């Protein structure tokens, strides 16, 4: 099913309004917002008018700006794709004197039973440019997903979230083995690139997810 968040239109006021549930999912750290209430640079992120979700950017140490969502009934689900847009929050960025780089990173994680991490990845987005994020098959059967900007002063806009019920969630032991194998491969890549000074770059690319 596709969540466009139009079902929360009635809760909108002049600005963002808290979202409790939408389309059978419970969201935390998110507000419903209409395009006119967003900075101009982010309005394209409202892919299906009139409503999208936005996070709460924060100063370092005051919050991480993350959005988390999970099924309201606690049953496993499979996230498929979403439209995501990011840009620095102008007021917070100015207060810290941070330069704009023109792009930002967002960290996305899927969790299963007992908080086991099923998958985690980083996406790069140009400021104000919507990107379609495709979740990997390893997110099947998730119980919770988090979407967090790498820099807490970044504002996110999330729309057109495609999910399906159920999914073959791996057992906790299986998830742990997969995670350890990923970590071992990353350590091997890090060692291979260290001599050329490319460890950090290789690590980032190994975890990068698809943006369309």
Domain presence at residue 7:
yes
Domain presence at residue 210:
no
- Strand ranges (E), 102-194: 103-111, 117-126, 131-134, 144-149, 154-165
Percentage of the chain exceeding pLDDT 70: 76
Mean pLDDT of the chain: 81
Domain presence at residue 97:
yes
* Contacts with 100 (C-beta within 8 Å, 6 or more apart), sequence order: 88, 93, 127
The predicted-structure confidence for 59-118, as pLDDT tens digits, reads as follows: 888 889 999 999 999 999 999 999 999 999 988 888 888 777 889 999 999 999 999 999
As a whole number of angstroms, the distance between CA 33 and CA 4 comes to 12
Domain presence at residue 116:
yes
pLDDT (0 to 100) of residue 10: 54
The predicted-structure confidence for 115-162, as pLDDT tens digits, reads as follows: 999 999 999 999 999 999 999 999 999 999 999 999 999 999 999 999
46-56 exposure pattern, b = at least 16 Cβ within 10 A, e = fewer = bbeeebbbbbb
pLDDT (0 to 100) of residue 74: 95
Reported confidence tier of residue 200, pLDDT bands at 50, 70, 90: very low
Domain presence at residue 85:
yes
Calculate mean pLDDT across residues 42-65.
90
Domain presence at residue 204:
no
CATH number of the CATH domain containing 143? 2.60.120.1350
> Does this model's pTM top 0.85?
no
Range of the domain at 86: 2-170
Domain presence at residue 129:
yes
* Contacts with 137 (C-beta within 8 Å, 6 or more apart), sequence order: none
Q: How many CA atoms lie within 13 A of 202 on its CB side?
A: 15
Number of structural domains, the chain?
A: 1
């Amino acid at each position: 099913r596709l969540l466009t968040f139009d079902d929360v239109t009635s809760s909108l006021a002049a600005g963002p309004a808290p979202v409790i549930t939408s389309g059978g999912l419970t969201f935390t750290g998110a507000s419903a917002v209409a395009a006119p209430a967003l900075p101009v640079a982010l309005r394209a992120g409202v892919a299906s008018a009139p409503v999208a979700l936005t996070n709460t950017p924060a100063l370092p140490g005051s919050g991480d700006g993350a959005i988390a969502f999970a099924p309201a009934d606690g049953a496993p689900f499979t996230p498929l794709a979403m439209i995501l847009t990011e840009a620095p929050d102008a007021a917070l960025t100015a207060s810290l004197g941070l330069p704009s780089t023109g792009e930002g990173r967002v960290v996305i994680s899927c969790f299963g039973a007992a908080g086991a991490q099923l998958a985690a990845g980083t996406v790069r987005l140009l400021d104000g440019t919507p990107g379609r994020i495709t979740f990997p098959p390893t997110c099947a059967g998730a119980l919770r997903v988090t979407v967090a900007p790498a820099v807490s002063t970044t504002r996110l806009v999330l729309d057109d979230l495609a999910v399906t019920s159920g999914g073959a969630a791996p057992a906790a032991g299986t998830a742990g083995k997969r995670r350890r194998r990923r970590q071992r491969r990353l350590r091997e890549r890090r060692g291979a690139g260290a001599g050329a000074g490319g460890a950090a770059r290789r690590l980032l690319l190994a975890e990068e997810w698809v943006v369309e």
